[in-house]
Structure 1
Amino acid sequence: MYRFFVQPQVDQRQQVVFGYELLLRKEQHGHWAVPAKFTELSLDKQVHLLEELAGQLATKATNQVLALNLNREQAEDELMLGTIIYLKKRLNPAALTIELTESATLAEIQKYSMLFHQYGIQLSIDDVGTGSNTFDNIKDALPFVDQIKFAMQNLRMSGKADQIPTALAFWQTIARDYHLDLILEGVEDEHDQRMAQQLGIELHQGYYYGKPRLAVKPAATEVQPTSNER
């Protein structure tokens, strides 16, 4: 069995939940786990799960954003574009953002941007500054996207937590120069929150606001910080 877990995305200045990142999970031996491959559940089947989820979250009533990850293999599926556009029509008027988790070619980004924007779908580059999504690799694509995401947890897990303030300041400058939204992932406590606020970063995501969870009822829109225990 597969289900989408959700994690809130918060506008800290307005103190509201403006959207949710969608995280696919698979039930194994009574526990929910990250699938070995996200492509083991086809995109069209994921769409059916997402339609149910949108109703549970009441996103159509609140016009909140659903953010769906798309990896390299999924992006290369010839049916991907049509499936995503179909999903957006089914979700209206709720918003949809596609987060590219791996570096795509400039030509692919340009194609996605042109088609998605015709249907009001936003395009995001995930995990900037780590993996293949370095500035040199994505700089030519930045004019074609709407958002970038910086994941502090990636640097923490690689033992580079001391580099977070400098790297985050750099990407905040990039977001401002390219007129992009910047979502800061990995906000775990008040210290992280204050650092973001000092840099003028208002869009947050992380355990401080809520761990990924099953959506079983309409979610609250007010920000309610939680324990940072993992």
Structure 2
Amino acid sequence: MIRFWGQPRFSRKPLAPVGYELFIREGSANNWKVPNDFSKFTADQICELLMQTTPRLPKNIQNISINLDIDQFIDPKFCQTLFSVKNKLAGIHLAIELTEHATVQGTTEDQLIEAARRYNSANLYLILDDVGSGDNQLKRVQLLDPYVHEYKFAVQNFRPGVTLNKIMPKLTFWHELAKKNHKLFTIEGVESKEDLLILSHYQVDMLQGYVLGRPVYLPTQNDPLGSIAACSN
């Protein structure tokens, strides 16, 4: 059995929940775990779960994003299936986050560009997750930039043992690039009130992290575990 867990995303000003990033978990009511292999989930499975989950979301949640690894991202079936359901999600706006996970061997730049173009043509909002980490480095960002709407920078990828101040040069680089390229910019990994104080004065669009909200279980329409409360800070 699979379910989504959702971590709230907050606008910076005002500091308020604007959506969820969705994470797939598998198991049962008493034993949910992170899957070892996300590629085993088909487009149909993910979209069916979306259809079953979105009617139970809090009314203040109007935006959701799901993560796709490279092999899923370049598979036309995923784009086609997500496009087929995006207008059926009870008024919820759907975005795609391309993860920083390693590129599948043999994947070409042309395949990446063509995939990004497909999502753009389907009016599916595209986010580059964890820029500056993994394979989402400057080369890929520049390659896909015409089709991307948002960059996310994950502070937690440079921790533990590194203070937020030491991360600032990297964060500043990506923030400035986002402004230059007219992209929205989200900072993930806001883990303390001190982080929040520093970053709230940093002119970003959105914030995400444990101090604002941890991932929560999202029930489906037929789930006996009840509903979830609206996000709050």
How far apart, in 2, do the equivalents of 1:110 and 1:92 lie?
30
1:99 match: secondary structure? strand
* Structure 2 residue matching 1:141: 3-state secondary structure: helix
Q: Hey, what's the Cα distance between the residues in 1 that align with 2:126 and 2:108?
A: 14
Alignment of 1:1-230 (within 5 A): 1-27=1-27, 30-58=30-58, 64-91=62-89, 93-102=91-100, 106-157=109-160, 159-161=161-163, 163-216=166-219, 217=227, 219-220=229-230, 223-224=232-233
Q: Which amino acid aligns with 1:83?
A: T
Change (3 A) 1:63 1:155: closer
Task: Tell me the TM-score normalised to structure 1 length.
Answer: 0.86
Give 1:13 shift: 0.4
Report the TM-score when normalising by structure 2.
Answer: 0.85
1:27 is displaced (CA, Å) by 1.3
Distance, in Å, in 1 between the alignment partners of 2:34 and 2:90 is: 28
Q: Deviations over 1:76-124 (max 9, x none)?
A: 3341121111121222532111000036855344434433334431001
Structure 2 SS opposite 1:79: helix
Return 5+ residue gaps in structure 1 as ranges: 225-230
Provide structure 2 residue ranges, at least 5 long, that are not aligned to the other structure.
220-226
| 1:160 Cα offset (Å) | 4.4
CA distance in 2, matches of 1:78, 1:115: 8
- 2:224 is aligned to none
- CA deviations on 1:154-183 (whole Å, 9 max, x unpaired) are 1104x4446411111111101100000111
Is the CA contact 1:183–1:205 (under 8 Å) kept in the aligned structure 2? yes
Deviation at 1:75, TM superposition (A): 1.9
> How many residue pairs were aligned?
220
Q: SS at 1:90's partner residue?
A: coil
SS in 2 for 1:91: coil
Find the aligned partners of 1:7 and 1:63 in 2 and give their Cα distance: 11
2-structure distance, mates of 1:119, 1:98: 12
Alignment check: 8 A CA contact 1:106 1:141 kept: no
Alpha-carbon contact 1:150-1:184 (below 8 Å) kept:
yes
How far apart, CA to CA, are the structure 1 residues paired with 2:8 and 2:29? Answer: 27
Distance 1:141 1:163 in 2: 28
Supply the distance in 1 between the matched residues of 2:115 and 2:192 (Cα, whole angstroms): 35
Percent identity for Structure 1 against Structure 2: 30
**Quick one: distance in 2 between partners of 1:137 and 1:114?**
14
How many angstroms apart in 1 are the aligned matches of 2:113 and 2:81?
A: 18
CA contact (8 A) 1:143 1:178 kept: no
TM-superposed deviation, 1:40: 2.2
| Match in the other structure for 2:223 | none
Aligned residues: CA RMSD: 2.3
